[in-house]
Structure 1
Amino acid sequence: MLEAKSDKKQLEQAFEAFNRMSAELDASYQVLQDRIGRLTDELVEARSQRIKELAEKERLANRLALLMNELPGGVVVIGGDGVIREANHAASTLLGCSLVSKNWQAVLAELIDQEPPSASELVLKNGRRLSLNRQHLRDVDEEVVLLTDLTQAHALQEAVNREQRLAALGEMAARLAHQIRTPLSSALLFAGHLGHAGVSAEQRERVTKKMIGSLRHMESLVDGMLNFVRGGRMVSKMFSVQSLGLDLVQAIEPIVAEVAGELRYQEAVPTGARLAGDREAILSAVLNLVDNAKTMVAEHLILSLNLTAAKDKLLITVTDNGPGIPEAIQDRVFDPFYTTRDKGTGIGLAVVAMTVRDHGGQIKLASVEGEGCCFVIELPLAFDTQDSVDLLESGEPVVAGFSQAS
């Protein structure tokens, strides 16, 4: 009897424990269901948000693709291997061929037949001129090239420059007539002497030389005016700044030696720095400044020639120890046919300024009367490699120089 009661009690306890466990399981299951519901809602919301983000990104990508394709300028994306990965319609139109999957340098070699006038400009075989703006994307090892058609702008600028030169022709003609009057009168006077009966052979030779000198002076005046008015196209090629410096030193040394002077040369430019343009015209422009200094300093000329790099510009500085130029006339020294010398033509500095402008640069004058002159020619630089650009930006140019007395 006692055993039956004990078994019944144990059974009741077991049922109670089972009921408690069932209740706990039901509660846990309900909590789990609630958590699953919340997680499901969160996943649905996250998925919906992700779909919205992807749709927005796709919309932006499509918009950017549309904008890129509709841009009036050309856009070319070049991979690290030099192969064109993307190009918009304008780029294909400007270059006249399909571009994607082609090597960029091979495309340029096919389309141009001469060295570009500068690192940021191209002249195609068909005469079209394009500006190039490059941006390297280091994170993805790609380069973006922006192309802009400069053909019409260049033609208009040439027309404007020509019109400006022609507009100055009237004033130049008046100055030329004034400049020619003196050597013409001298030539006529010398010619009259030759007609005298008692002129000896020695006198005839001396007068003839003077007359020829006067005529050649007139010829130089006329030639200078024609060169200035015509302007003309320069022969554009790429050349190194270092070689330009060496050629200048070789050309200037004998000029300075004529007046027993001293040449001081200093060069501080990156090794890969280059110029684009007419090498002979630039040489001639600098030598014109040197010749001007020699004319102003009769003896003991001290001439300094410095080639330095400032950002993406080359500065060619020519300094002398001459009498200087009065401040009142410094604004006129680059005007054609303006001169303060009896036998000056007034053409030299005008042609220098024109040459510098034709190369996209500018020339500046700094002078204090009695303390010499300092002319600074500023020209745009080009480079062989990106390393040379980085070297320039790092402020670590290659320095060379010397001082030589004749």
Structure 2
Amino acid sequence: MRHLSANEQRNCWLLAGVLLLLAAITALHYLTSVHLVPYHVVYRSLYFLPIAMAAVLWGVRGGLITALLVTALHLPYMLFISHETSDSLLDNILELILFYGVALLAGILSARQQQQRREALRMRTYIDGILASLPIGVATIEPTGKIALQNPAAVHLIGKEVHDFPYPIQQGYSECQWQGRALGIHRSTLSSALGDVITIEDLSEQRRLAEKIRQAERQASLGRLAGGLAHEIRNPLGILRATAQLLATRLQNIPEVTRYTQVVTTESDRIDRLISEILSYAHPRSLSLEAVAPGPFLEQLLQDCQPYAEQHSILLEIERRDNLPIISADTELLRQALLNLLLNAIQASSPGQTVTLSAQQADTALCFAICDRGPGIPDTIKGRIFDPFFTTRDEGTGMGLAVVARIVSDHQGSIELEERPEGGTRARLCLPLQKEQP
């Protein structure tokens, strides 16, 4: 036997109530003396109650069916009994017609109300769906201070109900720091004294992007300035080096002159290498893209750097992974960037420590990681680590990581240096994967 649903059970109880009410009114009608006309007029008027109830509950059809049932119940009285009293047949007929009129009117009004209720529910569901999909938090506050509505983003951004937010939310726009997020909060008054609406937006990503743009603009300006200076310096530097070589040739019998000119030549070569790095940063070459298999590429990089690592008593390891996707990159520039990061990791490590190379897929990018167990990067310099000419080593030029950042940017990739929980630094260089051809 099928169990009735809650709605079906409710309808059954309501139907039983309407039928019971009809039976009670009819019993009063027929058990009362026919000569008590005022009572019969009242009882007949009571039939409007179940008719209206049926019309409200089940629409026009329910009202008309109930009116027909009332007609069947009242017809014997109207045809055979009412003529013995002063209760006229015309009054009874008019009241029967009125029964059907009430059924129609109540049914139509009920149908309209139900339609409006369904439309309001549909609109509420539609609005709730929009609010739930918004990345910004939205909350409305009644004039009494009660929260009328708030979407999930509002609770997510502040971690609690809006009325429990510890910072006072003033009219207009304000910003605050909360749980590591930069929040922009705007409060305005709704029309017709309906209360206030509050919007909450997470500004952290915007600020991070703005900082990246400012950093890129600063680096570009420094690069242009450095490129111009490098060209101006290289010409007199070449003359200085040529003069030193000429003196060394003509005065080679004087040991002091030979020694001093050798110093000039060596330092000139060092300055020339620095100028080459500056020019490489300021005027990067166009990319020559080709398919790169990460596994063999890292193996070759490790072999190239192995002698330098052995010289510093550092062990190099590769975390090998199968089925890595092919990427599209300029092989020489990618090698230059990873080699620079690898040399930095070796220089930051103590003898006997291990530097690990790895590659893995992360969503739509392939990420190379170089991990060391050195002292890490102080928080005070993290924001400047990729700036040109910034270095923490006496013998450094400050151009290595700046060139790495430029190479990664030219590949539409990303580069970040982060602390490792077990100590040391992880350099993470990510390049986008090749797009599949349709």
Report the TM-score, using the length of structure 1 for normalisation. 0.45
Q: Which has the higher contact order (CA 8 A, sep 6+)?
A: 1
Between structure 1 and structure 2, the one with the greater Rg is 2
TM-score (norm 2): 0.42
Q: Which has the higher helix share?
A: 2
